[in-house]
Amino acid sequence: MQDDRTANDAAGALGDRHARATAAFGDLVHTIGPGQWGLPTPCAEWTVRELVNHVTAENLWMPPLLSGATIADIGDRFDGDVLGDDPVDAWDEAAAGALAALDIPGALTRTVHLSFGEAPADEYVRQMLADHVVHAWDLARAIETGDRLDEDGVAACADWFDTVEDAYRQAGAIGPRETVPVDADEQTRLLARFGRSSTRCLVERFTHAFNAHDVDAVMRLMTDDCVFESTEPAPDGRRYRGRDEVRACWQELFDTTPAARFELEDVVVAADDRAVARWIYDWGDGHVRGVDVFTIDDGRIVAKHSYVKG
């Protein structure tokens, strides 16, 4: 009897954590503005819409899997776009269905059929909890809103991930671990284990804003005392100091070079406050290859020093 009560308590705690993670992701979905669905996310292959579509589809899978259906039974029912014309409503319906399936007595004590074979239902729900927690950070970063995660959910994900991290990485499901400072908090450490870096994400967001020629978005990512050091005139470049000078530099470049864009070849994160981006800069009639050295403070760019191949 004591073992049953302990198992029920553990199942209840897991269900509560999953419900909180689902609600937190849903809050972000309801925050997405009309012009933000096409923004890039830290998941390089996904826009905001594609990220929300992925997590929505995961929720659609939960009711049939928890009721005993196999992958073959479900087939391609949830492939492709599941958001339709009203992505927020589609998310709400899928999330509600997943939570209702978890509320059915005994749902977490069953065996579910997954792509790699059979697994305990509570293991499957831990995977879904991690999916919601980590992708909530991805979504928050993409739409530039608060990205602090529920501490209890982070701790639960970290404990579970200890048992599967190596297998996930070997399977190619996550990228290499990112470097973190020795005093990094639990959230930063968890995200780094999933291949996430706030520094890398900032560089990628800056590049996207630059390629959109959105000077307001670019400057939101830079500090008031920011510095930009250009590559021209040779050999030392020109230094622009402060928001007004840097903003004027970007605006002139966008006005005079409408085809200008960067293609990131690589981003090397040296620490929380330093990154090097290797790129191809194309202005329509030609291109150069070079690097930027970024200095970062509290999630914004303090300095961008640019260098090109001679």
Over residues 84-107, the pLDDT tens digits come to: 999 999 999 999 999 999 999 999
Q: How far, in Å, are 51, 61, 70 from residue 115 at the CA level?
A: 20, 12, 9
Predicted confidence (pLDDT) per residue in 225-263, tens digit: 999 999 999 889 999 999 999 999 999 999 999 999 999
Query: Taking 80 as the threshold, does the pLDDT of residue 148 lie above it?
Result: yes
| pLDDT attached to residue 181 | 80
Q: 7: pLDDT confidence band, cut at 50, 70 and 90?
A: very low
Q: 11: pLDDT confidence band, cut at 50, 70 and 90?
A: low
Rounded-to-integer distance, Cα 139 and Cα 126, Å: 20
| pLDDT attached to residue 299 | 86
Query: Taking 70 as the threshold, does the pLDDT of residue 21 lie above it?
Result: yes
| pLDDT attached to residue 5 | 39
Query: Taking 70 as the threshold, does the pLDDT of residue 69 lie above it?
Result: yes
Predicted confidence (pLDDT) per residue in 28-43, tens digit: 999 999 999 999 898 8
Q: 115: pLDDT confidence band, cut at 50, 70 and 90?
A: confident
| pLDDT attached to residue 1 | 46
Q: What secondary structure, in 3-state letters, does the chain show?
A: CHHHHHHHHHHHHHHHHHHHHHHHHHHHHCCCCCCCCCCECCCCCCEHHHHHHHHHHHHHHHHHHHCCCCHHHHCCCCCCCCCCCCHHHHHHHHHHHHHHHHHCCCHHHCEEEECCEEEEHHHHHHHHHHHHHHHHHHHHHHCCCCCCCCHHHHHHHHHHHCCCHHHHHHCCCCCCCCCCCCCCCHHHHHHHHCCCCHHHHHHHHHHHHHHCCCHHHHHHCEEEEEEEECCCCCCCCCEEEHHHHHHHHHHHHHHHCCCCEEEEEEEEEEECCEEEEEEEEECCCCEEEEEEEEEEECCEEEEEEEEECC
Mean pLDDT of 175-195: 88
Q: 120: pLDDT confidence band, cut at 50, 70 and 90?
A: very high
Predicted confidence (pLDDT) per residue in 256-294, tens digit: 999 999 999 999 988 778 999 999 999 999 999 999 999
Q: Which residue has the higher pLDDT, 7 or 35?
A: 35
Whole-number average pLDDT of the chain: 92
Domain 2-173: give its CATH code. Answer: 1.20.120.450
Mean pLDDT of 158-179: 88
Query: Taking 80 as the threshold, does the pLDDT of residue 304 lie above it?
Result: yes
| pLDDT attached to residue 50 | 97
Fold of 203-308: Nuclear Transport Factor 2; Chain: A, (3.10.450)
Query: Taking 90 as the threshold, does the pLDDT of residue 183 lie above it?
Result: no
Query: Taking 80 as the threshold, does the pLDDT of residue 192 lie above it?
Result: yes
Mean pLDDT of 40-66: 94
Predicted confidence (pLDDT) per residue in 74-85, tens digit: 999 999 999 999
Query: Residue ranges per domain, the chain?
Result: 2-173, 203-308
Q: 174: pLDDT confidence band, cut at 50, 70 and 90?
A: confident
